[in-house]
Amino acid sequence: GQQVMQIPQYQHVQEGEDFTTYCNSSTTLSNIQWYKQRPGGHPVFLIQLVKSGEVKKQKRLTFQFGEAKKNSSLHITATQTTDVGTYFCAGQTGFQKLVFGTGTRLLVSP
Amino acid sequence: NAGVTQTPKFRILKIGQSMTLQCTQDMNHNYMYWYRQDPGMGLKLIYYSVGAGITDKGEVPNGYNVSRSTTEDFPLRLELAAPSQTSVYFCASSYGAGIQPQHFGDGTRLSIL
């Protein structure tokens, strides 16, 4: 079955440093979504990418969808303590249901 | 706007007991989902529904049952609770499949002792 892996599993940065998480699918995706889950909270939708090579920005967050539509990345510039949480990608193949990635947990020290 | 509401928020069960986790949404979404999240892990799909009267298995359906009699409600039933079912359970809904974002409830933290 379809698998979606994320690296790294965990990253600890100092406030102000950049952060990147990578998402890799075993199959070609029709679209990918990104979610953020704060500690003790529930996943919250951030963005979706549909087109090959697509790049979208939300303030300090930059999302990319790979040319082959099998990988994606989330880059945070100048992290803040409010960025703490686990970031999940979720990919869909055709009309299949979303498959969530393994997640990257981000810890930001002030 | 309530969104997706789950009850209870916390529950402790004894091995072999049964319970129903409630989920209701007020966004008139057709699609609803149940996930479980073990500590430090990702989300695994248990069951999903594409509309009232239609349900299907996800990745980890064993030990669970669902029903969807209305658009709003999607309860998850645990029969004969086992320690391996200790987890956080999230209900989610979406207007459609895939390209539509999923909206999650606050979760039910369930411990089986």
Closest CA to A43 of B67, B36, B31, B74: B36
Q: Is A84 helix (H, G, I), strand (E, B) or coil?
A: coil
Kindly give the pairing relationship between strand A10-14 and strand A104-109: parallel
Selected from 2.60.120.10, 3.40.50.280, 3.50.50.60, 2.60.40.10, the CATH number assigned to the domain covering B4-96 reads 2.60.40.10
Which residues of B fall within a CB distance of 8 Å from A45?
A: 101-103
pLDDT at A67 over 80: yes
Q: How far are the Cα atoms of A7, A77, B74, B77 from residue A105, in angstroms, in the given order?
A: 10, 16, 30, 30
Band of the pLDDT at A97, cuts 50, 70, 90? Answer: confident
Give me the pLDDT at residue A92, please.
87
Which of 37-66 (B) contact A at CB < 8 A? 40-45, 48, 58-59
pLDDT in tens, A5-22: 999 999 999 999 999 999
What is the rounded distance in angstroms from the CA atom of residue B95 to the CA atom of residue A94? 17
Q: Which residue type occupies B8?
A: P
What is the rounded distance in angstroms from the CA atom of residue A2 to the CA atom of residue A18? 30
- How many residues does the structure list for chain B? 113
- Delimit the domains of chain B by residue range: 4-96
Give me the pLDDT at residue B69, please.
96
Give me the pLDDT at residue A23, please.
97
In chain B, % of residues over pLDDT 70: 98
Q: Provide the token pair at A59.
A: 């303030």
What is the rounded distance in angstroms from the CA atom of residue A6 to the CA atom of residue B60? 20
Give me the pLDDT at residue A95, please.
66
pLDDT in tens, A14-49: 999 999 999 999 999 999 999 999 999 999 999 999
| Domains in chain A, CATH or no CATH each | 4-109 (2.60.40.10)
Calculate mean pLDDT across residues B61-90: 96
pLDDT in tens, B25-42: 999 999 999 999 998 888
Residue in B42, B45, B107 nearest the CB of A101: B42
Burial of A56 (0-12, 13-18, 19+ CB in 10 A): middle
Which among B50, B99, B108, B109 is the top mutation candidate for probing chain A, defined by the most A β-carbons within 10 Å of its own β-carbon?
Answer: B99
